[in-house]
Amino acid sequence: MYQSFNPTTRTLMGPGPSDVNPRILSAMGKPTIGHLDPEFIRLMDELKGLLQFAFRTRNELTIPISAPGSAGMETCFVNLVSPGDKVVVCQNGVFGSRMADNVRRLGGEAVIVEQEWGRAVDPEALQKALKANPGAKIVAFVHAETSTGARSDARQLCEIARQSDCLTIVDCVTSLAGCDVDIDGWGADAVYSGTQKCLSCAPGLSPVSFNERAVEVFKNRQTPVSSWFLDLNLVMGYWGEGQTRAYHHTAPVNALYGLHEALLILSEEGLEASWQRHTSNHLALRAGLEALGMSFIVPEPERLTQLNAVTIPEGVDEAAVRKQLLQQFNLEIGAGLGSLAGKVWRIGLMGYASNPKNVMLCVNALEAVLSQYNVHINRGEATAAVLAAYG
């Protein structure tokens, strides 16, 4: 006989989702109202303003797509890429390869700038690719590559694209609220993110932002946008200005309550304070893991603070360790993806989960589990290293 589902309380320190702030869970439990209710329309307008704050942009078209971050990615590509368009895709991990797949499915030509996994996108490689492909219309790249923990220089890459008169599509799924995101400062044209990472909201929504240059492209397409649901020409009838809204789809009302609360929490903390908190906890985690004898695969200047890809000690069954952490400590960390599968663990310190308590839990739990294996770790040193890092 089926019963109500009651999940075990976990500490989520994988690549996402992250722990959801209790304030957000409470907000999502508020009474549902209609998606065309005047009160809800007021909430929608506030959401747009709060997202502009989080993205650091004045773009009018800054809204949450009613689906996860992957739909935000598709929203950018289906609206901006037409059949035959040449798109330069910087690929330094799994999510760059997904961008390229979007281009091909839309009938575009994907020009791949291949990078070593665990490294930032090389600006010189992008320049060479654009020089070799003068007809390119778009440059796409991942700001914070979740599969490797590498952060690329979005400002420089956007500037290089602009010099070749290319639009930019930027993946900020893991970076939004966790490190410096500055859409207007970068000059990025289309950006997408997700709610389940450093915003500490439940999965299921994808904030996006398009500047006027990008809006002109999809408004003047010669072919229809291939997705009805993600066609911004239609979606804007619902997310536009004023009290009169055209029905497009039934918005996920309670999920949007949660996003509103998440953005309020971010505004209360402040962007710079949020970035600094993620940095502080990353440095403490780094100290603890390095004291155990583990290392990071990304060079420090290119390293994310909110997603840490660390090496697995020789001779360790990495899946067994993750299973034991989940069963004994209710702690979730992530496995490697693609070419890094079986070689790294991905440890997230995102949003509400980025705090000293979780850092200490992770380091001590890893030490306890790894001590059961016949591998060399520096036992008894990690806790002191974490405390010293916090000063």
Kindly state whether residues 233 and 148 are assigned to the same domain. Answer: yes
What is the SS3 assignment for 348?
strand
Kindly state whether residues 233 and 132 are assigned to the same domain. Answer: yes
Kindly state whether residues 75 and 215 are assigned to the same domain. Answer: yes
- pTM higher than 0.95: yes
* Final residue in a domain of this structure, among 267, 302, 320: 267
* Final residue in a domain of this structure, among 267, 301, 321: 267
In a domain, 9, yes or no: no
Secondary structure (DSSP) of 26-68: HHHTSPP--TT-HHHHHHHHHHHHHHHHHHT---SEEEEESS-
Do the beta carbons of residue 258 and residue 27 sit within 8 Å? yes
Per-residue pLDDT of the chain (391 residues; tens, 9 = 90+): 999 999 999 999 999 999 999 999 999 999 999 999 999 999 999 999 999 999 999 999 999 999 999 999 999 999 999 999 999 999 999 999 999 999 999 999 999 999 999 999 999 999 999 999 999 999 999 999 999 999 999 999 999 999 999 999 999 999 999 999 999 999 999 999 999 999 999 999 999 999 999 999 999 999 999 999 999 999 999 998 766 788 999 999 999 999 999 999 999 999 999 999 999 999 999 999 999 999 999 999 999 999 999 999 988 999 999 999 999 999 999 999 999 999 999 999 999 999 999 999 999 999 999 999 888 888 889 999 999 999 9
Q: Which of 243, 242, 215, 245 is nearest to 231 (CA)?
A: 215
The predicted structure's pLDDT at residue 15: 97
In a domain, 227, yes or no: yes
Beta-bridged to residue 140, according to DSSP, are 89, 169
Do the beta carbons of residue 309 and residue 118 sit within 8 Å? yes
Cα gap 126→263, rounded to integer Å: 34
Kindly state whether residues 211 and 315 are assigned to the same domain. Answer: no
* Final residue in a domain of this structure, among 221, 243, 267: 267
The predicted structure's pLDDT at residue 242: 66
Residue 339 is part of which domain span? 271-390
Kindly state whether residues 107 and 135 are assigned to the same domain. Answer: yes
Listed in sequence order, the residues at least 6 apart from 214 whose beta carbon sits closer than 8 Å to its beta carbon are 61, 79, 80, 167, 189, 190
Kindly state whether residues 125 and 76 are assigned to the same domain. Answer: yes
Kindly state whether residues 231 and 335 are assigned to the same domain. Answer: no
Give 258's Cβ-side CA count (13 Å radius). 26
Q: What are the helix (H) ranges across 56-166? A: 69-80, 94-105, 123-132, 154-163
The predicted structure's pLDDT at residue 131: 98
Kindly state whether residues 137 and 44 are assigned to the same domain. Answer: yes
CATH of the domain at 151: 3.40.640.10
Kindly state whether residues 379 and 293 are assigned to the same domain. Answer: yes
Q: What is the separation, in whole angstroms, between the first and last Cα of the chain?
A: 53
Do the beta carbons of residue 349 and residue 278 sit within 8 Å? yes
Positive/negative CA dihedral, 322, 326, 330, 333? positive
Cα gap 194→123, rounded to integer Å: 26
Kindly state whether residues 79 and 33 are assigned to the same domain. Answer: yes
**What is the gyration radius of the CA atoms in the chain, in angstroms?**
21
In a domain, 147, yes or no: yes
The predicted structure's pLDDT at residue 243: 64
In a domain, 11, yes or no: no
* Nearest-5° Cα angle at 21, 57 to 54: 5
In a domain, 243, yes or no: yes
